[in-house]
Structure 1
C-alpha cells in the first residue's frame, strides 16, 4: 500500500479508537442513574487531563523518531482505558478511565500531523492532511453507525468491542507506513539548514512559542472560547432528547454523530479549495459564525428531528477547522523545528475551553434547563468571533496563502526561543 493511502487508512480506523465510547458516555451514564451535573463534571476531569498532556505530547512528537510506535501505544491504551467502564460505574473509576483516555489520546493528534508533514512535506501537507481528515470523518460515520446498531441490538458492551476491532486494524495500518518514508526533519517543520542536534537540544516550551507568535496566540485563544461553547452541545442535546423519551439512547446518539461526521466529510473535502480561494482567516471566521446559530436552534427545537440542523451546523464548523487549523499552524511555524510543539500548545489552549464546557453545560442544564444551557453556550462562543474580528487586519495578513510561507513564522534559530 502507498504510504499516503496507509495514512488515510490509519485515520479511518483510528477515528473510533480516539472517540471510543466518548459520544455515548453521557447516555451510558444517564442510563445508570447519573445526573447531568455529575456527567458534565466527570467529562471535564478527563478534558482537563487531556489539556495538560497535549503540549508535552506535541514536544515529544517533535523529539522522537518513533512516531508510529507512539500512535500504536496510545491507541492500545485508549481502548484499555475505555474498557474500565465495563468493570465499574463508580464515579472515580469512570473519572480514572476518562483521565487515562485523555492522556493517551493527547499524543495521537500531534503524531498524526507530524507523520503527515514528514511524509508529504510542507508543500503537500494541506492536501494530504485534508485527505486524512476526510478519511477520519468517514471512519467516524461508519463507527458511529455500527456502534448505534450494536448498542441497540447487543448493549453498550458491543460498542467497546467495535473500538477494539478498529484498534487492531489501526495497528495494521501503522505497520503499512514505511518508516523510511517519514522525514523526521520535515516532520518537525525544521529549516533545512538547521542541524538535528541544534533543534533537539533547544529546550523550548510550547507556551514560549505561543507567546512569540502573536497570530498563533490569537488563534489559540479564539479556539478556546469557541470550544467552551461547542464541546458540551452534542452530549447535552443527546441527553435532552433521551430524557424527554423521544428517542432510543444508542440509536439517537449514533444518529447525532453520523449526521455531523457525514457533513464533516464534505466540509473537509471543500476546506482546501475554500482556503485557496479566500485564505485561512475567512474559513476559520465561518466556523465561528456557525456556533451561535447552532445554539439557538438547539434551544428552540428539542425534538428528535432537530438533530439534523443542529448536527449539520456542527459538521460545517468542525469539518473546516479540522483541516484549516493544523494547516495554519504548520504555515505559521514553518522553519522553526517546533511545528508539533506548536500544534500541541494550540490544542492545549483549545482543550482548556473544551474541558470546562461539559461541566458548565451540565450545571446550567441541571439548574436552568436544557434550552437555557444551549442559549448560554452559544452566547459564550461569540467571544471567539469578537476576538477574530477585532484582530482581523493583522490576522488576515498572517493567514494569507500568498507569498512566502515562512514569513510569519517565529525565528527558527534555537537562541531566539
Structure 2
C-alpha cells in the first residue's frame, strides 16, 4: 500500500517522534504494576487506587489539553515540555517507590500524557492533506508499535540484568531523544488551521458551540463504546503479567516483555491495515473487527494458566488495539470537519476512554483480591460484548469508501 507522503514535510521526523514516544511511555506504564506488586509488596487494591487516581486526573485533563492544543501554535514546544516533566516523574518513581511519591508522580504523568496523543494527531493534520490522512495515521501507529516492541525488548534485558527498578531510568533517556525528534519537525511546514481541523480559511470560518459535541449522536456513541472498550482492555495485560510474575517471579520482567512484544508485533501490521482499509472499506467494518476481538480474548485467558498459552492469547490484543489506535483520530476527524475543535473533540473521546481504563484498574484489582483471576477476566469480556452490540446497532459509517463518497455519511458536529 502506498502512502504517497510529501518529501518536503520530513516524514522521518514524525516517524521518529512516534517511535520514541512509545519508548517513553513503554518504559513506565506496563512495568509499573508488576514492579509494585512483585518487588515492593503492594496489594492489588493499592495498585488499583494509584491507577484509578492517575486515570481520573488524566481524563479530567483530556478536554482542556485538547482545547489548549487547538489554540496554541507552539505544538512542538508543548510536546517537548511534557516530555521533560515525564522524565522527572520517571526518576521520582525510580528513587522513591513508596505510596505517596508514586501516587503523585503517576498522577502527574497521567495529566502530562494527555498532551501527546492529541498533539501528534494535530501535527499530522497540520503536515498532511486530508487525502493522505488515513495512510499517515496508519504509519504513525506502525512506528508507535515498533517503538513499543523495541522498549519491551530493552526493558526485558535491563530488568533481567539490573532488576525491575532500573527500567524506570529508561524514561528520561528516551524523553530526551523524543524532545530532539519533535523539535526537528520544521515549524514552517505545519498548517495550523488544518491542525485544528479547520477546512476553511480563517476568514469566514464558523466555530462550533461546545454543546454541539453533546448533540452529535455518532460522537457520543463512539465515546461510549470507547469507554467500554478501554474498561475491558486496560486491566487485561496487567492481570496477565501479574499471573505470570506470581508463578515465575525470577522471569517476571522477561515474561511481561514477551506479552508486550507479542501484542505489539501484531499491532504494527494492523496499524497499516487500518490506515489502508479504513480508506477502502470505510471506518465501521474495521472498528467492528477491533471490538469483536476483545471479548474473545478476555474469555480465552481463563482456559489455561500455561505461560505459552497466555502469551499466545495476548497476540489478539495486537489486533484490537492496533486498529483502535488508528481509527480513533480518523473517526473524530470525520465528525469535526470545519469546526476548529478537532483536538477538543479528540480530548473528550479520549477522556471517555480514560474513564473506562481508570475504573477498570480498581475494579479488576478488587475482584482479583476477593474472587480470583477468572471472574476478573470474564467481567471485562462482558463489557466488551456490550460495546460490540452498541457499535453494530447504533454507530453509522463516518468515512464512506471512495467508490461511494456520499454513502453512509453521518451528521458532523453542527456549526453555529
Q: Scaled by the length of structure 1, what TM-score is found?
A: 0.92
Cα contact 1:57–1:107 (8 A) shared by 2? yes
**Following the alignment from structure 1 to structure 2, what is the Cα–Cα distance between the partners of residues 2 and 336?**
25
Cα contact 1:121–1:187 (8 A) shared by 2? no
State which of 14, 21, 26 in structure 1 corresponds to 2:21.
Answer: 14
Task: Provide the residue aligned with 1:372 in structure 2.
Answer: 375
State which of 182, 186, 192 in structure 1 corresponds to 2:200.
Answer: 192
Task: Provide the residue aligned with 1:89 in structure 2.
Answer: 97
Aligned ranges for residues 94-133 of structure 1 at < 5 Å? 94-133=102-141
State which of 208, 216, 220 in structure 2 corresponds to 1:217.
Answer: 220
Cα contact 2:297–2:316 (8 A) shared by 1? yes
State which of 144, 151, 154 in structure 2 corresponds to 1:146.
Answer: 154
Cα-Cα RMSD: 1.9
Please list the CA deviations of residues 321-375 of structure 1 after superposition, one character each: whole Å capped at 9, or x if unmatched: 1111111111111111111111111101111101111111111111110112111
Aligned ranges for residues 10-409 of structure 1 at < 5 Å? 10-30=17-37, 31-195=39-203, 204-205=209-210, 208-245=211-248, 248-392=251-395, 395-396=396-397, 398-401=398-401, 402-403=404-405, 408-409=411-412
Please list the CA deviations of residues 138-193 of structure 1 after superposition, one character each: whole Å capped at 9, or x if unmatched: 01100111011101101234312222221111111112100000000010111324
Cα contact 2:58–2:110 (8 A) shared by 1? yes
Cα contact 1:15–1:137 (8 A) shared by 2? yes
Shift of 1:234: 0.3
Of 152-161 and 55-64, the range deviating more from structure 2? 152-161
Cα contact 2:23–2:171 (8 A) shared by 1? yes
Q: Scaled by the length of structure 2, what TM-score is found?
A: 0.93
**Following the alignment from structure 1 to structure 2, what is the Cα–Cα distance between the partners of residues 137 and 356?**
25
Matched residue of 1:302: which SS?
A: coil
**Following the alignment from structure 1 to structure 2, what is the Cα–Cα distance between the partners of residues 48 and 303?**
34
**Following the alignment from structure 1 to structure 2, what is the Cα–Cα distance between the partners of residues 303 and 365?**
18
**Following the alignment from structure 1 to structure 2, what is the Cα–Cα distance between the partners of residues 172 and 113?**
18
**Following the alignment from structure 1 to structure 2, what is the Cα–Cα distance between the partners of residues 95 and 350?**
21
**Following the alignment from structure 1 to structure 2, what is the Cα–Cα distance between the partners of residues 137 and 29?**
25
**Following the alignment from structure 1 to structure 2, what is the Cα–Cα distance between the partners of residues 278 and 334?**
20
**Following the alignment from structure 1 to structure 2, what is the Cα–Cα distance between the partners of residues 138 and 177?**
20
Gaps of 5+ in 2: 1-7
Of 380-389 and 45-54, the range deviating more from structure 2? 380-389
